[in-house]
């Protein structure tokens, strides 16, 4: 059993438009853009990161905007919804704000005793705002959103699977305990987590597999404190039979990836070194930052990427 995992680190999804994506996460949801960089495996595409003031692990929603990507089709073998924690009593504010900004199909739901406001992002990405008591994480404020409403980070995420069995076993191995079950939903929670502590599995045994595209989650990342904890997790996964990538330097964290039995790509990411590694905290996310290997190609990359207006 792995004790090193501390909840979610980030969730990475795909979008069609960088501008629309940036506007939605900063101006509608009020997150802070904490990094503007490129996809390290495809530097003609942005990689945009949004979160709290510092981009604390457990708060970071990230996107690859691919200009010509086809829309995803929802189904099994993917992350269903990403949950954001908001302060107790703030859902009324959010309902009014989101509908006032033109979001349609806002749906309320009670899941395991928590109040959710479900909505979709610009690419029909699935989200819920979840009212959470006793969460002392401080959200980024602005755009008319105060500290009693601001998103505090992730609460967790749901996974849509045809069959929960093997993924439930994997989560148990990752130190997630099954805490609740209702109908076709099972909830897992990690002890000692960073606040982004819950994974729900929704079993849809007769649904078709998802097809990834814009609006789909590309992968979901779990947090470990440092590189030595990551190496312990990597070895334990290898010993259990998972195919795990070598450790990859993502500049702001170190990453390993593996495919889960249900088809979802999991990442384990370190809390170190963080987003202030290459720019001042006061100006996170403003300038285009490139990993050092692409710095010689900056002018070509800047010609290809459409600038994002703030």
List the x/- string, 11-40, binding to Zn ion by CB under 5 A.
-x----------------------------
- Binding of residue 45 to Zn ion (CB under 5 A): no
How would you class 172 by CB atoms within 10 Å of its CB: exposed for 0-12, middle for 13-18, buried for 19 or more?
Answer: middle
Instruction: Name the residue nearer to Zn ion (CB basis): 36 or 116.
Output: 36
**Do strands 126-132 and 185-190 pair parallel, antiparallel, or not at all (unpaired)?**
unpaired
Could you tell me the smallest distance in angstroms from the CB atom of residue 185 to Zn ion? 26
Could you count the other beta carbons within 10 Å of the beta carbon of residue 202?
18
Instruction: Name the residue nearer to Zn ion (CB basis): 221 or 244.
Output: 221
Distance CA 92, CA 185 (A): 26
Could you tell me the smallest distance in angstroms from the CB atom of residue 257 to Zn ion? 8
Distance CA 169, CA 177 (A): 10
Instruction: Name the residue nearer to Zn ion (CB basis): 12 or 56.
Output: 12
Could you tell me the smallest distance in angstroms from the CB atom of residue 253 to Zn ion? 8
Instruction: Name the residue nearer to Zn ion (CB basis): 12 or 158.
Output: 12
- Residues 6 or more apart whose Cβ sits within 8 Å of residue 51: 10, 31, 32, 34, 59, 60, 61, 140, 153
Could you tell me the smallest distance in angstroms from the CB atom of residue 35 to Zn ion? 12
Q: Which of 145, 18, 137 is nearest to 90 (CA)?
A: 145
Of the ranges 88-96, 190-198, 205-213, 266-274, which one interacts with Zn ion (CB under 5 A)? 266-274
Could you tell me the smallest distance in angstroms from the CB atom of residue 149 to Zn ion? 28
Residues of the shown chain interacting with Zn ion in the complex, contacts defined by CB under 5 A: 12, 221, 267
């Amino acid at each position: 059993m792995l004790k090193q995992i501390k909840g979610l680190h980030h969730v990475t999804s795909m979008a069609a438009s960088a501008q629309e994506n940036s506007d939605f996460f900063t101006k509608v949801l009020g997150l802070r853009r904490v990094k503007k960089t490129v996809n390290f495996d495809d530097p003609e595409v942005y990689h945009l990161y949004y979160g709290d003031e510092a981009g604390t692990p457990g708060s970071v929603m990230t996107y690859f905007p691919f200009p010509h990507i086809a829309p995803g089709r929802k189904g099994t073998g993917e992350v269903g919804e990403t949950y954001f924690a908001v302060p107790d009593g703030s859902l009324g504010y959010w309902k009014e704000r989101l509908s006032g900004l033109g979001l349609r199909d806002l749906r309320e739901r009670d899941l395991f005793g928590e109040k959710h406001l479900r909505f979709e992002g610009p690419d029909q990405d699935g989200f819920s705002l979840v009212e959470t008591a006793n969460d002392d994480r401080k959200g980024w404020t602005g755009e008319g959103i105060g500290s009693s409403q601001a998103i505090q980070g992730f609460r967790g995420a749901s996974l849509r699977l045809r069959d929960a069995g093997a993924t439930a076993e994997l989560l148990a191995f990752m130190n997630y305990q099954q805490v609740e079950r209702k109908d076709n939903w099972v909830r897992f929670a990690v002890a000692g987590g960073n606040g982004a502590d819950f994974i729900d599995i929704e079993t849809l045994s007769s649904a078709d597999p998802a097809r990834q595209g814009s609006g789909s989650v590309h992968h979901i990342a779990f947090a470990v404190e440092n590189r030595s904890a990551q190496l312990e997790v990597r070895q334990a996964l290898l010993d259990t039979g998972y195919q795990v990538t070598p450790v990859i330097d993502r500049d702001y964290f170190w990453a390993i990836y593996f495919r889960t039995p249900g088809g979802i790509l999991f990442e384990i990411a370190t809390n170190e070194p963080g987003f202030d590694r290459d720019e001042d905290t006061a100006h996170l996310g403003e300038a285009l930052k490139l990993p050092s290997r692409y710095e010689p190609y900056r002018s070509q990359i800047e010609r290809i990427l459409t600038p994002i207006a703030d």
